[in-house]
A and B are shown apart, each in its own frame.
Chain A
Amino acid sequence: MKASRARRLSARIPVVFLPAAFFLAINIALNPRILTLRGINNLALQTVSLGLVVMAQTLVVIVREMDMSVGAVVSMTTVLVASNMESLHLLSIPLALLVAALFGALSGAVVAYARIPGIVVTLASSMIIGGLALVIMPQAGGTVDESLSDFVNGQPLLVPNSFLLLLAVLLVWQYVKGTRLGTAIYATGGNPFSAYASGLSIAGAKIAAYVGSALLAAIAGLVVCGKTMTGDATIGDTYTLSSIAGTVLGGASFMGGVGTMAGAVAGALIIGILVHVLFFLGLSSHYQYIAEGLILLAAVSIGVLAERRGQK
């Protein structure tokens, strides 16, 4: 029932932070060292790339579409950076971002003008992008300049740079959300006919969302690249499904028009902390998927139940 999407959102946001706090508590109990600046930094570092990818997915979900290519874009970015670092030096970074934006624009244009569901278009584009990345770099490798790693892992201020990067992205989003483009993005997802009849460009909003999504995924790729110091054409694979899980946990609605970037970060945080907990419990990372699935189900059920109670 679409009766009250906003109430569902408001019901879900605290619900989103609850499990995050719960797992954080377990985490602290298991490993008090996490409360040190270093521990927090580690956690932040591990969550930043996922957070960016969840934001990418959330952006597209807000316009009532999906992006199955975020993982492939992450991989492609690491590959492009690592394979061009020697010849282009740091210019390989804007190049990788440009390529990602181009892919996003193409996907968005096909979705908007051919009116093919985004989930299908980006499934195809994810195969194409992933395949291209493998062609460019069949085996993980390449060289990555120390400076990228230094930047990503560095911490001249109180918090790591990568964390500041996330904050910067949030700030940019805060601005975009306030513009007409931001309104168009939310309106397109909330009611496409209405957006069109109100003189907004649906195509513009969708293309912008896909470009934004690809750029965010590429930035996530840069963070990953800075951590691993290699290019790897398959490293992003797991990100796609996690991004969808994080988006749901973050309170966005697949009916479109509802979702926040703060929620997206919270969604990523839940998954990130969960991984941490499992690690300290000594469980293999395979359990991560099972746990992720259970959390997803639990969070959504609690949200729906809370909403139902709120209606009575």
Chain B
Amino acid sequence: MSPALLETLGLEKSYGATRAAQDVNLAFEAGRVHALVGENGAGKSTVIKMITGLVRPSGGRILWRGEAVNLHAPRAARSLGIVGVHQEMTLVDTLSVGRNIWLGHEPLSAIGTVDRRRLALDSERLIASMGLSLDPQRLVEGLSIAEKQLVEILKALSLEPSLLVLDEATSTLGDREVELLHGIVRKLQAQGRAIAFVSHRMKEIFQFCDVCSVMKDGRVVFQDETSRLDERRVIEKMIGRDMSQGFPAKQPVPDSAQDLLRVSGLATGSGLHDIGFRLRPGEILGIGGLQGHGQVELLECLFGLVPATKGTIEVEGRRLALRRSADALRAGIVLVPEDRKTQGLFLDRSVEENLIACSFGDCAPFGFISRRKADALVAKIVARMKVKVPDVKDSIRRLSGGNQQKAALGRWLPSGFRILLLREPTRGIDVGTKFEIYGLLRELADTGVGIILSTSEIIELVGLSDRVLVMLEKGISAELAPGEISERTIVAASFGHSLGASHES
């Protein structure tokens, strides 16, 4: 075994009575990619934050090249060569790409001011060396989420880290970008640098990593070489049980079923064009494709956030004029947005308040909220969606991502919606809860709701959808029938290829 670059000995972190991490012994070795996996709340992020200096350990030691070090601030970690790309975006929206990349270690001129010319040149060189095309002068706030993520990675690389920590750095990247990152990681590996890799995507764990450590309840419960593991085994270790059930069984919708939603010739000012499809009650319609090919616009248009310039939207044969979201809600269409934290929930309010937010009318008959009715409503939603919440009066911020997502979904239940629009419903959610949400979605569909599911996780599309629409350049490049849905067909259609009749599994 090569000597460890960074080693943790009995590392521990407590927040009050809760132990977020305990007795963590991990070694990150030069030239190796070390995966850290586990469900949300298992302690991965806490460990990552301790080794990058964002959080101070409550106990244990961190050794850097064999010597104990005190990583009291990100500055201290960075000076040693430990650099993190964190789950939270750490870019300054108001600064340019270049300024963000070199933030805190800008090239300086003789009089101590930032050397803008060299900064621009260095940025261009760095961007080009990673095979990307990005204008370093552009302001970060105009970038897409995936581009921001890439800048985040460039920023870390600009420090030429000895240990690069990638915490969910791929969660917003499309397949092409992940491939790019893969190349970068390979290069770093060859240069003898160590990489710590946290991801919820199993595929990447096996694609990128040499070693895999599984965390559960704040401890490292399992570790092995990835070459000796398979996906199933890792998942079992993470959730501590057999994951053989997997996705809920699909219920074929009879062809004769009446259309719940029928869209034809739809176009918008943002470039969406010739969108036509139908959705039947009880059906889950998946929307696939590379990022930024119109999936977001389609959902927003169906929810009345973006006006259609052409085409028709019919619900149960009745033509809709969607001018605002209230029109969509009245027609029984609801949207659970991509980012539950900023677009969906009121993070600082209680779970209870969040759950009744969409049905004030039902529990406040005279404009005042009736305690009895609100309690009943909340209890019903919590039970139906299996939201794990110690006290509904707690701020919803304190729930795990999965439970927040269940709440974001559940609060629409009282409205009796017919059509559910979902975007990335399981982003940043641990594997166990993911499958719970899949089950809940299928149950909803079985009650006659039609679901449109837009997701960048192909496994989700394959496992959950009854039919799949693949989008390309703001249009539909393929509609896959039940027998045709596979990872291969979806990827092919995303790039505009047709695989004809050759089906897979």
Residues of A near any B CB (own CB < 8 A)? 2-6, 175, 178-180, 182-184, 186-187, 189-191, 193-201, 257-258
A197 close to B74 (CB less than 8 A): yes
Residue of A whose beta carbon sits closest to that of B92: A190
Tell whether B179 is near chain A: CB-to-CB under 8 Å: no
Whether, in the assembled complex, B145 has its beta carbon less than 8 Å from a beta carbon of chain A, the answer is: no
CA distance in complex: A197, B83 (Å): 9
Of B84, B90, B105, B139, which one neighbours A193 at CB under 8 angstroms?
B90
Instruction: Give the interface SS of chain B, mostly helix, strand, loop or mixed.
Output: loop
CB of B135 closer than 8 Å to a CB of A: no
Q: In the bound complex, do residue A5 and residue B104 qualify as a contact, i.e. CB atoms below 8 Å apart?
A: no
Given A178-B114, A194-B91, A257-B95, output 10 extra A-B contacts at Cβ < 8 Å.
A5-B141, A6-B94, A179-B108, A187-B92, A191-B92, A195-B103, A197-B74, A197-B86, A197-B90, A258-B94
Residue of B nearest to A188 (CB): B92
B112 CB-CB contact with A under 8 Å:
yes
> Which partner residue on chain B sits nearest A189 by CB separation?
B94
- The docked-state distance in angstroms from the alpha carbon of A196 to that of B113 is 21
In the complex the two chains form, is B113's CB within 8 Å of A197's CB?
Answer: no
User: Are A4 and B142 closer than 8 Å at their CB atoms?
Assistant: yes
Whether A196 and B92, one on each chain, are in contact in the complex, defined by CB atoms closer than 8 angstroms, is no
Query: Nearest Cβ distance between residue A192 and chain B, in whole angstroms?
Result: 9
21 residue pairs of the A-B complex, CB under 8 angstroms, read: A4-B142, A6-B94, A178-B113, A178-B114, A180-B104, A182-B114, A183-B106, A183-B114, A184-B104, A187-B103, A189-B94, A190-B95, A191-B90, A191-B94, A194-B89, A195-B92, A196-B74, A197-B54, A197-B84, A197-B86, A198-B74
Q: Is B61 an interface residue (CB 8 A)?
A: no
**Distance A191 CA – B155 CA, assembled complex (angstroms):** 15
Q: For residue B141, which residues in chain A have a CB less than 8 angstroms away from its CB?
A: 2-6
The residue in chain A whose Cβ has the minimal distance to the Cβ of B86 is A197
Contact B94 A198 (CB under 8 A): no
**Beta-carbon contact of B93 and A5 below 8 Å:** yes
B78 on the interface (CB 8 Å rule)? yes
Contacts of B94 in A (CB 8 A): 5-6, 186, 189-191, 257-258
**B386 CB within 8 Å of chain A:** no
Complex formed: what's the CA distance from A254 to B86 in Å? 26
Contact in complex: A198, B114 (CB < 8 Å): no
What chain B residues lie within 8 Å of A195 (beta carbons)?
92, 103-104
B residues contacting the other copy or chain, number (CB 8 A):
30
Which residues from 73 to 89 on chain B have a C-beta closer than 8 Å to any C-beta of chain A? 73-75, 78-79, 84, 86, 88-89
CA distance A191 to B88 in the complex (A): 11
- Confirm or deny: B193 has a beta carbon within 8 angstroms of a beta carbon on chain A: no
**Interchain CA distance A178-B78 in the complex, whole Å:** 23
A-B pairs with CB below 8 Å: how many? Answer: 86
Name the A residues within 8 Å of B99 (CB-CB).
183
- CB neighbours (8 Å) of B88 from chain A are 193
* Chain A residue with Cβ nearest B115: A178
The interface residues of chain A, by DSSP majority, are classed as helix
Cβ B106 vs Cβ A180 within 8 A: yes
Q: B88, B90, B155: which has the most chain A beta carbons within 10 Å?
A: B90
In the complex, A254 Cα to B84 Cα: how many Å? 29
- Neighbouring B residues of A3 by C-beta, 8 Å: 141
Q: How far is the CB of B96 from chain A (nearest CB, A)?
A: 9
A186–B95 CB distance below 8 A: yes
B391-427 vs A, Cβ < 8 Å mask (1 yes, 0 no): 0000000000000000000000000000000000000
Q: Nearest-CB distance from A64 to chain B (Å)?
A: 11
* A183–B115 CA distance with the chains assembled, in angstroms: 12
Q: Looking across the interface, which residue of chain B has its beta carbon closest to that of A184?
A: B104
Residues of A near B104 (CB, < 8 A) are: 180, 183-184, 195, 198-200
Interface pair B74/A180, CB less than 8 Å apart: no
Contact B95 A180 (CB under 8 A): no
Rounded to whole angstroms, the CA-CA distance of A45 and B43 in the bound complex is 62
Contact A186 B92 (CB under 8 A): yes
Is the Cβ of B103 less than 8 Å from the Cβ of A194? yes
**Contact indicator A191/B91 (Cβ below 8 Å):** yes
Residue of A nearest to B114 (CB): A178
In the complex, A272 Cα to B108 Cα: how many Å?
38
Are B92 and A194 neighbours in the complex by a CB distance under 8 Å?
yes
A257 touches B74 (CB 8 A): no
Contacts of B142 in A (CB 8 A): 4
Distance, CA A186 to CA B92, complexed state (A): 9
| Cβ-defined contact, A180 with B91, below 8 A | no
Q: Which residues of A contact B155 (CB under 8 A)?
A: 198
Which residues of B sit under 8 angstroms from A6, Cβ to Cβ?
94, 139, 141
**How far apart are B332's CB and chain A's nearest CB, in angstroms?**
28
- Smallest Cβ distance from A14 to chain B, in angstroms? 18
A198 to B89, CA, bound (A): 11
| CB of B138, distance to nearest CB on chain A (Å) | 10
A180 B114 Cβ-Cβ under 8 A: yes
Chain B residue at minimum C-beta to C-beta distance from A257: B94
In the complex the two chains form, is A198's CB within 8 Å of B113's CB?
no
A263 CB to closest chain B CB (Å) equals 14
Could you tell me if A257 and B86 are in contact, using CB atoms closer than 8 angstroms?
no
Complex: how many Å from CA A194 to CA B94?
A: 12
B73 contacts which chain A residues (CB < 8 A)? 196, 199
Q: How far is the CA of A98 from the CA of B312 in the complex (A)?
A: 71
> Which residues from chain A contact B92 at a C-beta distance below 8 Å?
186-187, 190-191, 194-195, 257
Q: Which residues of A contact B106 (CB under 8 A)?
A: 180, 183
Q: How far is the CA of A244 from the CA of B86 in the complex (A)?
A: 36
Alpha-carbon separation in the docked complex, A133 to B54 (Å): 43
Give A238 to B91 CA distance when docked, in angstroms. Answer: 38
Bound-state CA distance A306–B326 (Å) is 27
Residue of A nearest to B142 (CB): A4
Q: Which residue of B lies closest to A5 (CB)?
A: B94
> Of all chain A residues, which has the CB nearest B91?
A194
Please, which residues of chain A bring their CB within 8 A of the CB of B75? 199, 201
A196 to B104, CA, bound (A): 10
Q: Which residues of B contact A198 (CB under 8 A)?
A: 74, 90, 103-104, 155
Bound Cα distance A198, B101 (Å): 10
What residues on B are CB-neighbors of A201 within 8 Å? Answer: 75
Docked complex Cα distance between A180 and B141 (Å): 21
Set of chain B residues within 8 Å of A257, measured between Cβ atoms = 92-95
Give the 9 A-B residue pairs with the shortest CB-CB distance, closest first.
A178-B113, A190-B92, A257-B94, A190-B94, A194-B90, A199-B75, A198-B104, A198-B103, A197-B90
